[in-house]
Structure 1
Amino acid sequence: MIPHQAERYGQRVALLHRDPRTGKWLGISWNAFADRVRLTSQALIEYGIGVQENIGIYAPNMPQYFYTAFGAYGARAVEVPMYPTGSPDQIKYIVRDANIRLLFVGEQQQYNNAYKAQQEMGDTLQKIVIFDRSVVRYPTDETSVFFEEFVRLGDNARAETAARIRRNEATDDNVALIIYTSGTTGEPKGVVITHANFREMMRIHTLRLPMVTERDLSMCFLPLVHIFEKGWTNFCLCRGVRIAINRDPKMIRQTLLEVRPTLMCNVPRFWEKVYAGANERLTRAAGPMQRLLRDALRTGREYVLNYRRTGETPPRTLALKFAFYQKTVYSALKRAVGIERGNIFPVAGAPLSDEIAEFLLSVDIPIVYGYGLSETSATVCCYPTVSYTLGSIGTLMPDIDVRIDPENNEILVRGKTIMREYYRKPEETRRAFTPDGYFRTGDAGRLGEDGCTLFFQERIKDLFKTSNGKYIAPQAIEMSLGGNPYIEQCAVIADERKFVSALIVPAFDALEAHARARGIAFTDRADLIAREDIIRFYRSLIEEAQQHFASFEKIKRFTLLQRPFTIQDGELTDTLKLRRGAIARRYAAEIEAMYKDTEK
């Protein structure tokens, strides 16, 4: 794909990256991109990487990541990406399972972890290639090289000929990618994605999203090991879209304002924060301004949901009001985030609440909500341009077949984007498919009357059963609190318990501002969350958020925590999903205290 696009676009910019020293965004042309990919392919072959051999990439989003991934494809090697936040033990597991002898790393942290893993693994991991020139190598390191040194291996006629032969012998069933699941339960599994899966992914997304064109600029923000970002970025490159590479996730607010992209895929948590910030500004606005903002929301909701969504022509007065708010209220909100030039913003990876989806659409933020998994090469369904159903997870992608298991409402998927297998796990693979070839997603859902609109119900494995025999879907409860400006994280507890409780991490910046505004004195965060008036405040927030839940589903008790759940402490997966077992173990004392004297 990359050489083909280089022939078409030549010196036009393909990739943008931010110089960490100057802060300037630098462009890389399609020709330069293709040349680096070619040299990387040849270097892999010259080093001795065989056809369909696995090579690892353990790095944040960087231009070198792109060169290595596509270079691997060109050499008919297999890309095995790893989360840049992965621990040495996680890296060792993947390196051993995938038998990786060549590992590309990004920055100092990844190098340190990889070198530690290499020292403990004997002969398995033979060489580390480092992307960032500022990385300081260990004095005892005699095998690692920098990326620029490595690619020089391939700058010869013999490697060029060998690479050409390999490309000519490539077939659609060659493996392109093995993505390891984050493993919320059990050990991670390698999801095997072929070039045929990728090609079908490009085809069906081109049919569904024709509005994505070479005029667009996409922000590459999620880690490229995430199938959502990997699939989306490859689709953008297929369409000739420029890619701005966000290297540091903590800088996304700044880089959005610098780049102001027209496209960006993201997870619901990002949009929950946008919603929470906008809601806070709305509640703090003075009387006349607050009335204007509320009218803007009402106008947007009526225009978007009743007319734009259905493809019908709105009344002239409504259209004029919407146009006025587009140029004033909506554009001011979007400019503050850096998304005012938005074409579409795909969102997936976790459930998005109807309330937040409705708000985003009402203020003219063009989200496209969808659903998919690593095993389905990302998208199973997403909102179409018109006639989508709010509350659904979209309509099925072209040529994707879905049915619902009548026994447990599990969503079953069949199509050409479905993974080939779990790597070296034949029994896991067998269990993952029905006898007639449908993949078992592990998610419960239902199809609408049209047979094409899909509704998510719950993650089957996440279902809790209370000691009273009631089933609880914790994600739905957690999602109801996700857009609250005073709540950063929430973990619901209910399994084998008499009632639902929760561990809640406050959004401390907002909470501290709330306390100061009301004259509530506190010495530190521990003191703040222990105050009875703060606990009452959170009790009212929770009650308001769960009005629509049945009594047995409502949070009866909660504990406020001083520190957030983190990937580093093993409480979150690399895709920011809760590791419920790890949280339950770490906070066992706090959980038991919530049930003290209630479950005798």
Structure 2
Amino acid sequence: MPQKTFLQAETSGADIGRDTMPLLLQRNARKYGDGKVALREKEYGIWQSYTWQQYYDHVKYFALGLASLGFVDDDALAIIGDNRPEWVFAELAAQSLKGRPLGIYQDSILNEVAYVIDHSGATFVVAEDQEQADKVLDMKHELPGVKKIIYTDPKGMRDYDDPMLVYFPDVEQMGRSFEEQNPGYFEKSVERLTPKDVALIAYTSGTTGFPKGSLLTHSNMLKMALNLAHVDPKRQDDEFVSFLPLPWIGEQMMSVSTALAIGFTVNFPEEPETAMADLYEIGPNVVFSPPRVWEQQARSVIVRHLDASWFKRFIYRLCMPIGYQMADFHFEKKSPPWYWKLMYALSYLLLFRALKDRLGFSNIRSASTGGAALGPDVFRFFHACGVNLKQIYGQTEISGISCIHREGKVDFTSVGEPIPETEVKIDDPDPEGVGEIVSRSPALFVGYLKNDEATAETIVDGWLHSGDAGYITENDQLVCIDRVKDLMQLTSGARFSPMFIENKLKFCPYIVEPCVLGHERQFVSAIICIDYKHTGKWAEEHRIGYTTYTDLASKPEVYDLIEKEVVRVNRSLPEAARIQKFLLLYKEFDPDDGELTRTRKLRRRFIAERYAAEIEALYQDLDQVHVESEIKYQDGKTATIVTDLQIRKMKPLDQYALEDERKWWQFWKPVH
């Protein structure tokens, strides 16, 4: 393995001077006025547009309304709800008053909402609708610091008479009245801001406990945005669809800081459930999504082709291998022969053009994924389809981004190179060059809110300690293996990355979330959650009756189906890292049950505690394990699951028929 331990990017020359995000908004409003759309929102099936001038006016008058209600310097403003223009209006308004905005995931349960509001010391809360307002109202006696709850959707709020509640447009009207008494107040407030002022409290995903509040400045976020744009260019006429939760730093990076710095248009879907359909309507030029979105889309395509007519299935099976081969040429840095270019051009006309269009990627120029590692199979799938997908790597604490693949250097085993003004090195590497990834750049956060101890542990001598294990290749690419604390070692001494195996399993259309186990055990095993929608469809097509998720997951035929996928993955793994036993869980892992973070990362410690009996059974000579478990539904009701989970033991690989699909152009050749 390479022994390189240090990477340093070139400087971009990006100069943000004294810019802050409200100042950039003011500048864009002057530059574009009403001549260019800044934001779009789909409402009742119709796209509603906001020009840059309208964007600025909403921010200005909402800020003045907050000021009239008593919002002062360093006050925190909590925002909870779906992605809406009002979200960014509120965020920029708080920044304009030298306040500290923060986001709360809209599907957070009561104790999570209470923790973030209390920890941040938020004095005002912007809640999208009745559901979100109720979460705060139900706990208002535990949150004495909250002065007002500002709602944006009046539906269902007519009979509420709590004095804490105020309607968003009414706050803007208060702002207009406040301006008459205090002319120039907003402009003076924006002018006094400095790049070193805190622009956002970004809460981490909280994989090991309650989330920590990262303090990010205007300079942090804008430096990152412009340095990223230097190596992955964005344009003023680009379209972007904001469908990932805005509390996530990845969405903040695109929808707020980069959009303000570059000036492109941000589009908000009507509902989270319609995001993919709305993305198809917009046909964005820029797409940034975490792995789960790309995995879902790949699974959807694979399943959909199985339901297509025989002719479409024929075209898919004819063209996909050509796409994969072309992707491999690019990954291996080889120039494809002319006849391969011709075959791919024909395949593009027959399949990939229509496929990209159905996915909403017809106009895509910049496609990236981040937040976690994306499995190589999914990566290869999108490159085969003609989507130049790149991996981004970073943490909330460094404003989201430290590395990205460069054009022409995409390699699904790595996370690319540092963006400009960023340094990355491997701390305390072992003899093979593997160690903790640490980085520093102008985007490095100030520290954690109210947690100096965690700040001192995370920032050491100006370097951010990521907690990720990795190494640097001979061609200067950073490889992230897994979280340091998540790397596992068998009793034999063999090490393996559970995340790497999980990503390969998730390429299967019938698996939604696996959890790979084996630390200080004799072998690797897995708890697997099936994809209810796709597996249910497969069961119906094969005339397998079922009633519930639990019933479907217990079917022997479904176990056989998943076993084939485990065999596929095992063939690509070293012998020590192959899965030897697995079980299908009676439910999906759920953030509400504490098994996943709100960004859908596994909380391994919690899973190990909750499913201790099931895990222990995997390492005993048992064929099944009896389970009695309480599950919680979205409406708060609970139910008890009583079932027997089957444990499937894998046979040696040589006892399975070799099912590797041969490329159709090889059939005329003798098989060796």
For 2:531, give the aligned amino acid. Answer: A
For 1:327, give the aligned amino acid. Answer: L
Q: Figure out how many residues of one structure are paired with residues of the other and give that number.
A: 591
Q: Give 1:262 shift.
A: 2.2
Q: Give 1:404 shift.
A: 0.4
1:545 matched to 2:598: no
CA distance in 1, matches of 2:57, 2:307: 54
Partner of 1:63: 85
CA distance in 2, matches of 1:538, 1:309: 31
Structure 1 stretch displaced more, 398-407 or 153-162:
153-162
1:281–1:101 Cα change, 3 Å = closer
Q: Structure 1 length normalisation: TM-score?
A: 0.92
Summarize the alignment of residues 175-254 of structure 1 with structure 2, pairs less than 5 Å apart: 175-210=198-233, 212-233=234-255, 234-254=257-277
1:518–1:166 Cα change, 3 Å = closer
1:17 matched to 2:38: no
For 1:222, give the aligned amino acid. Answer: L
Q: Give 1:9 shift.
A: 1.6
Partner of 2:453: 427
For 1:499, give the aligned amino acid. Answer: F
1:143 matched to 2:164: yes
1:107–1:202 Cα change, 3 Å = same
1:571–1:168 Cα change, 3 Å = same
CA distance in 1, matches of 2:187, 2:318: 62
Decide whether the 8 Å contact of 1:42 with 1:160 is kept in 2.
Answer: no
Q: Give 1:188 shift.
A: 1.6
1:388–1:594 Cα change, 3 Å = closer
CA distance in 1, matches of 2:332, 2:187: 49
For 1:58, give the aligned amino acid. Answer: I
Secondary structure of residue in 1 paired with 2:139: helix
Alignment match of 1:262 (pick from 285, 290, 294): 285
1:119 matched to 2:145: no
CA distance in 2, matches of 1:309, 1:4: 45
Decide whether the 8 Å contact of 2:590 with 2:596 is kept in 1.
Answer: yes
Q: Give 1:460 shift.
A: 0.8
For 2:463, give the aligned amino acid. Answer: Y
1:278 matched to 2:304: no
Partner of 2:71: 49
Partner of 2:366: 344
Q: 1:29-69 deviations in whole A, cap 9, x for unaligned?
A: 11111111111222222222222222111121111001111
CA distance in 2, matches of 1:280, 1:174: 49
Structure 1 stretch displaced more, 288-297 or 184-193:
288-297
Q: Structure 2 length normalisation: TM-score?
A: 0.83
Decide whether the 8 Å contact of 1:46 with 1:159 is kept in 2.
Answer: no
Q: Give 1:406 shift.
A: 2.5
Q: Give 1:474 shift.
A: 1.6
Decide whether the 8 Å contact of 2:197 with 2:218 is kept in 1.
Answer: yes
CA distance in 2, matches of 1:591, 1:267: 28
For 1:128, give the aligned amino acid. Answer: I
1:78–1:160 Cα change, 3 Å = farther
Q: 1:401-422 deviations in whole A, cap 9, x for unaligned?
A: 0000134611110110111111
Q: Give 1:450 shift.
A: 3.6
For 2:79, give the aligned amino acid. Answer: I
Decide whether the 8 Å contact of 1:309 with 1:388 is kept in 2.
Answer: no
Q: 1:407-442 deviations in whole A, cap 9, x for unaligned?
A: 46111101101111111211111111223x110001
Decide whether the 8 Å contact of 2:315 with 2:350 is kept in 1.
Answer: no
Stretches (4+) displaced over 6 A? 284-288
Decide whether the 8 Å contact of 1:130 with 1:144 is kept in 2.
Answer: yes
Q: Give 1:139 shift.
A: 4.3
CA distance in 1, matches of 2:42, 2:326: 39
Partner of 2:329: 306
CA distance in 1, matches of 2:338, 2:523: 52
Structure 1 stretch displaced more, 319-328 or 280-289:
280-289
1:134 matched to 2:155: yes
Secondary structure of residue in 2 paired with 1:204: helix
CA distance in 1, matches of 2:337, 2:525: 48
Q: Give 1:90 shift.
A: 1.4
Decide whether the 8 Å contact of 1:45 with 1:162 is kept in 2.
Answer: no
Partner of 1:567: 591
Summarize the alignment of residues 179-578 of structure 1 with structure 2, pairs less than 5 Å apart: 179-210=202-233, 212-233=234-255, 234-281=257-304, 292-306=315-329, 315-407=337-429, 409-435=435-461, 437-451=462-476, 453-578=477-602
Q: Which runs of 5+ in 1 are unaligned?
A: none
CA distance in 1, matches of 2:545, 2:138: 47
CA distance in 1, matches of 2:340, 2:575: 40
Decide whether the 8 Å contact of 1:309 with 1:385 is kept in 2.
Answer: no
Decide whether the 8 Å contact of 2:290 with 2:371 is kept in 1.
Answer: yes
Partner of 2:25: 2
Alignment match of 1:171 (pick from 183, 194, 211): 194
Q: 1:541-590 deviations in whole A, cap 9, x for unaligned?
A: 21211222233322222221232112222221111111223333333333
Q: Give 1:142 shift.
A: 1.7
1:40 matched to 2:40: no
Decide whether the 8 Å contact of 1:309 with 1:387 is kept in 2.
Answer: no
Partner of 1:584: 608
Q: Give 1:444 shift.
A: 0.8
Q: 1:150-184 deviations in whole A, cap 9, x for unaligned?
A: 12222123444232222222111100001111211
CA distance in 2, matches of 1:66, 1:523: 43
Decide whether the 8 Å contact of 1:60 with 1:247 is kept in 2.
Answer: no
CA distance in 2, matches of 1:388, 1:416: 25
Decide whether the 8 Å contact of 2:148 with 2:165 is kept in 1.
Answer: yes
Q: Which runs of 5+ in 2 are unaligned?
A: 1-23, 623-672
Decide whether the 8 Å contact of 1:260 with 1:340 is kept in 2.
Answer: yes
Q: 1:172-214 deviations in whole A, cap 9, x for unaligned?
A: 110000111121113321101001102211320231122x212
Taking CA–CA contacts closer than 8 Å with sequence separation of 6 or more, which of the two structures ends up with the larger relative contact order? 2
Q: Give 1:397 shift.
A: 0.5
Structure 1 stretch displaced more, 414-423 or 500-509:
500-509
CA distance in 2, matches of 1:418, 1:113: 33
Partner of 1:84: 106
For 2:422, give the aligned amino acid. Answer: I
Q: Identity percentage over the alignment?
A: 27
1:93 matched to 2:121: no
Partner of 2:651: none
Decide whether the 8 Å contact of 1:69 with 1:79 is kept in 2.
Answer: yes
1:530–1:181 Cα change, 3 Å = same
